Amino acid sequence: MIFAILAVVVLLSAIAWSLFVQWRMQRRKLDESEREVADAISRHIKLLSAVAAVLVTKGSIALAAVMMLAACTKEGDTIYEWDPNEPKASTAPLVTVIYGQDALGDRSYNDLIYQGVEEAAAKYGLRTMQLSPTSYEEGRGYLQSMFQTVSQTLNDSVRRLFIVCAAGYDDYIRQNSHLFDSNPNADLLYLETPEPLAAGGSTLYLPYYGAMYEAGAIQPVFNESATLIISNPEDQTVVGAGKGFTDGFYTDYYRIEYDSLEQSWGFTWEKNLQTIYLAEHTGEGYNIDETTAFQVLNECEYTIIPICGGSGYTMMYLCEIASSHGYVGIDVENESCTMSILKHIDRAVGLCIGQWLSPEGMPKHQVLGLKEGYTGVALHLRDYRLEQYNKYIPETLRQQIHEDAVRKEEAYENN
142 vs 164, 198, 269, CA distance in Å?
A: 10, 22, 52
Query: What pLDDT was estimated at residue 411?
Result: 96
- Rounded CA-CA distance 87/302 in Å is 60
| 293, 318 contact by CB (below 8 A) | yes
> Is 318 found in the same domain as 301?
yes
- Rounded CA-CA distance 225/269 in Å is 10
> Is 116 found in the same domain as 57?
no
> Is 385 found in the same domain as 268?
yes
Residue that finishes a domain, picked among 182, 205, 228: 205
> Is 99 found in the same domain as 24?
no
> Is 110 found in the same domain as 196?
yes
Distance of CA 339 to the CA centre of its chain: 24
Query: What pLDDT was estimated at residue 29?
Result: 43
- Rounded CA-CA distance 288/39 in Å is 44
Query: What pLDDT was estimated at residue 325?
Result: 86
CATH number at residue 274: 3.40.50
| Residue in 181, 176, 174, 146 with CA at minimum distance from that of residue 160 | 146
| 113, 189 contact by CB (below 8 A) | no
Residue that finishes a domain, picked among 167, 190, 205: 205
Q: Which amino acid is at 5?
A: I
Residue that finishes a domain, picked among 205, 240, 275: 205
30 found inside a domain: yes
How many other CB atoms are there within 10 angstroms of residue 214's CB atom?
28
List the domain range (segments joined by +) for residue 13. 2-71
250 found inside a domain: yes
Query: What pLDDT was estimated at residue 54?
Result: 42
> Is 300 found in the same domain as 161?
no
- Tell me how many domains the chain contains: 3
Residue 381: phi and psi, rounded to 5, are: -110, 140
Q: What is the pLDDT along the chain (415 residues), one digit of tens a residue?
A: 554 455 445 445 545 544 444 444 444 444 444 444 444 444 444 444 444 444 444 444 333 333 333 333 333 343 334 455 555 557 899 999 999 988 888 888 999 999 999 999 999 999 999 999 998 899 999 999 988 888 888 778 889 999 999 888 999 999 999 989 988 899 999 998 999 999 999 999 999 999 999 999 999 999 889 999 999 999 888 999 999 999 999 999 988 776 555 555 666 668 999 999 999 988 889 888 999 999 999 988 889 999 998 888 888 889 888 777 889 999 988 888 899 999 999 999 999 999 999 999 999 999 999 999 999 999 999 888 899 899 999 999 999 999 999 999 999 998 8
Query: What pLDDT was estimated at residue 264?
Result: 58
84 found inside a domain: no
Query: What pLDDT was estimated at residue 53?
Result: 45
> How far does the chain reach from its first CA to its final CA, in angstroms?
78
Query: What pLDDT was estimated at residue 2?
Result: 53
> Is 222 found in the same domain as 297?
yes
178 found inside a domain: yes
Query: What pLDDT was estimated at residue 132?
Result: 92
pTM of structure: 0.74
- Rounded CA-CA distance 170/162 in Å is 14
- Rounded CA-CA distance 408/402 in Å is 10
364 found inside a domain: no
> Is 396 found in the same domain as 251?
yes
| Residue in 370, 371, 350, 374 with CA at minimum distance from that of residue 362 | 350
Q: Is the dihedral of CA 286, 291, 292, 296 positive or negative?
A: positive
> Is 259 found in the same domain as 323?
yes
| Residue in 210, 209, 188 with CA at minimum distance from that of residue 200 | 188
83 found inside a domain: no
359 found inside a domain: no
Query: What pLDDT was estimated at residue 280?
Result: 92
354 found inside a domain: no
> Is 197 found in the same domain as 171?
yes
Helix extents (H) in 59-152: 61-71, 109-124, 136-152
> Is 244 found in the same domain as 188?
no
> Is 300 found in the same domain as 325?
yes
